[in-house]
Amino acid sequence: MKTFKEWVLVEVSAQKASKDFETHIVNLAVLSKKITNIKKLETLIDKNQKLFTGIDKEHKTQTIEAVVHLNNYFKKVWTGGYNANFSSIPKPIYGNKSAKADIVLESGSKKYGISVKMKGDYVVVSAQNKEEFEGIFYSALNEFEKQKGINLSDYESGIESIQEKIKLIKDNVIGETLTRHLSPTHFSKLENKSREEHKIFYEDLRNTIESRNKEINNDYEKVLNGIAKESESTLNNLLSDNELLRNYIVWEALSASIKYKGKLPFAEYVLSPNGCYDILSPESTFVQKVASASTIGIRGMVHGKLRSSGSKALAPYVGQSSVEMNELYDTLNKMDMSLKWDLSEKKFKELKIVVDSQNEGIFSDLWNVIKKWWGKIKTIGEEAIKKSMGIADGVMSKLTELKRASIFDILKFNKPKITGTIKLP
């Protein structure tokens, strides 16, 4: 029978599978020398097992499929590469310091930042950090003026109204933590796998959960059952009448180009077992298709160490001679509100995105592309701006009481939709 520590390692290894997948792609890409033959790529993995330690059948298949798409798209010999998540990351202009390009591949002296996606639902971006949420939506508007001297005065009132609404959601919804009731059987799987001497710990934990659930408010359930969809629908409404703006925000969410000022680890391409696509500008086919079909959602995420795994959350307590169960309970019963902008795997496949022709040099000056794109927004005219202002002003008139409200009142009024199934470890 495995010890509790061994069960922790099992769960941790499952979490790192996506990072291993990224590293496997780097290794196979460098070994491949432009090869696109599946059998030959499979042989390369089999002959270089030290570079693919622990790879299972499914990840092996996905790795090969991704590299086939990569090589068909670029037709380059990759001379080097690395997993950007384990490398030094410069300070961003907003939000968390995290790599958007999961891997960086090198061909000669040129480096390519690539965001890697495994099969499954496609996450455009998630944000629990308030500044990350705000930055994704409108950092570019200030950055345009700073970088290229674009005059935004004609749009100032409309942009400010939209920014103010985004700020209100940031301040009062995103990143807020709510208490919830835990199921007494929440950790049953771990209990069933535990050693006999740890059974008393799980029995005490079950009893504590049952008793404490009666003592605390289940604010999270009230949020799920009592709040309507207004915060989420407001975000969608702010963008639904402005296709170019939505494309731009999705572009920034996918690439973090403005966040990192067009430097690594921003992402220029997206690679998955389904294909390889450029995300070099808001005009990229992939960006536009994803923007048209993806859904903005506000949902709950498990708080603290429990987000990683149940075993990780309980590891410091299991096997201890004395455990303060009330304190442990208080570390487990929280949920964080966050932005989740995603696209189901089914909808992604239905998009039938045709891979763009890879043509280096077209986007060598990224900021020139941004300037050209912003010029198109100007051609929309005053009516579109007035419409955006009308949406923003209508929302703002309803939300003037937010500053005086408690977080529960804010959530109750804003009514964010908790989309999808919340999977607890």
The mean of the pLDDT values for the chain is 78
Q: For residue 341, what is the DSSP state?
A: E
Torsional sign, CA 212, 213, 217, 223: positive
Hey, where are the domains in the chain?
4-178+220-414
**Which among 11-15, 123-127, 409-413, 418-422 has the top mean pLDDT?**
123-127
Q: In sequence order, which ranges of 102-229 are alpha helices (DSSP H)?
A: 130-148, 156-172, 188-193, 199-213, 219-226
Query: Which residue type occupies 57?
Result: K
| DSSP three-state, residue 115 | strand
Range from 43-52, 79-88, 144-153, 210-219 carrying the lowest mean pLDDT:
144-153
Query: Which residue type occupies 408?
Result: F
pLDDT single digits (tens) 284-333: 999 999 999 988 887 888 888 888 789 889 999 998 888 999 999 999 99
pLDDT single digits (tens) 232-277: 777 777 777 667 778 888 899 999 999 999 999 999 999 999 999 9
pLDDT tier for residue 65 given thresholds of 50, 70 and 90 = very high
Q: Provide the Cα torsion 399, 405, 408, 410; round to 10°.
A: 10
Q: Provide the Cα torsion 405, 408, 414, 420; round to 10°.
A: 160
